[in-house]
Every structure is written in structure tokens, then in C-alpha cells.
């Protein structure tokens, strides 16, 4: 996991967070995902007046990658906090986003980075955040 460009992913997620569309929760999230091809895709959360069509930053980034042909994810960085520049908490991916990650990675290797800054962050494997998970292999 040493080949993961952690700081570049965090910087990309912080940048993506600036584009979040959050007129209802005012909670802004940015995510940056690293693919098997070592490409980075970013996403932000996008809310909707009807509420349920809103999407999380993580899924937005992952679906951008997958829709460009990526099928293997190696890492994802997530930053989130109430609107404003300060990121003073670790925003962990929701359960739905964890399951979406599960579809496109090896859960023992997939690195999930939650960050406040490039200096202050925590790393987990997806397996730590989504143990005993259900995935594509179960359907074979």
C-alpha cells in the first residue's frame, strides 16, 4: 500500500469538496478515488430539492471512474465538514458508499483515507470498515 499517493488524493478531495452542491444540509464532502490504472477521479456530494435523489461524494467519484472504464479501485480519500473551509472532523463513508466500493476492489487491499488535511488523516482497509461483506463472488 506504499504506492498510494495519499497526499495527492487528499488534496484532490479537498479541491473537489469546493464544488459540493449542498443547499439543504450545508455539509460539504469531497472524494478522490485512485484506480488500478493509477488515475484519480474526484467527486462531491450533490443534493436535490426532492432530497432522495442526492448523491454522496464517494459514489459520485466512483461512478465517474467506472463510467470511464475503471473496474478496480485501489484507494479513496474523503473529506467532509459543514460548509466553510475548515475541516475539523473525519467524515467516514456511509454504508451505501462502502458497499459500492466493495463492488470494485479487493477489500483487504482497498485503502480508505479520511482526512482533515494532508498532515492529519487516518487510513483503513475497506475490510475494516465493512467486515464480513457481501460481494460479486457470492453470485458466482
| Given 8, 58, 83, 119, the catalytic residue | 58
Q: Does 27 bind ligand THU (CB under 6 A)?
A: yes
- Residue among 59 and 74 whose Cβ is closer to ligand THU: 59
Candidate ranges 34-42, 52-60, 63-71, 120-128; the one touching ligand THU (CB under 6 A): 52-60
Burial class (CB in 10 A: 0-12, 13-18, 19+), 85: exposed
* Among the listed residues 41, 45, 101, 126, the single contact to ligand THU using CB under 6 A: 45
8 as an active site residue: the answer is no
**Spatial distance between the Cα atoms of 79 and 117, rounded to a whole number of angstroms:** 8
- Residue among 27 and 124 whose Cβ is closer to ligand THU: 27
Q: Are strands 121-125 and 111-115 parallel, antiparallel or unpaired?
A: antiparallel
Q: Does 81 bind ligand THU (CB under 6 A)?
A: no
| Footprint on this chain of ligand THU (rule: CB under 6 A) | 22, 25, 27, 29, 45, 47, 54, 56-58, 93-94, 97
Amino acid at each position: 500500500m506504499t504506492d498510494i499517493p495519499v497526499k495527492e488524493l487528499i488534496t484532490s478531495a479537498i479541491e473537489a469538496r469546493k464544488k459540493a452542491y449542498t443547499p439543504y444540509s450545508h455539509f460539504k464532502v469531497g472524494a478522490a478515488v485512485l484506480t488500478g490504472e493509477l488515475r484519480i477521479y474526484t467527486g462531491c456530494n450533490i443534493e436535490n430539492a426532492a432530497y432522495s435523489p442526492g448523491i454522496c461524494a464517494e459514489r459520485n467519484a466512483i461512478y465517474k471512474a467506472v463510467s470511464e472504464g475503471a473496474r478496480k479501485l485501489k484507494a479513496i480519500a474523503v473529506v467532509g465538514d459543514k460548509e466553510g473551509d475548515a475541516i475539523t472532523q473525519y467524515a467516514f463513508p456511509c454504508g451505501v458508499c462502502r458497499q459500492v466500493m466493495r463492488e470494485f476492489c479487493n477489500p483487504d487491499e482497498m485503502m480508505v483515507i479520511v482526512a482533515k488535511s494532508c498532515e492529519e488523516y487516518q487510513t483503513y482497509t475497506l475490510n475494516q470498515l465493512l467486515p464480513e461483506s457481501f460481494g460479486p463472488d457470492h453470485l458466482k
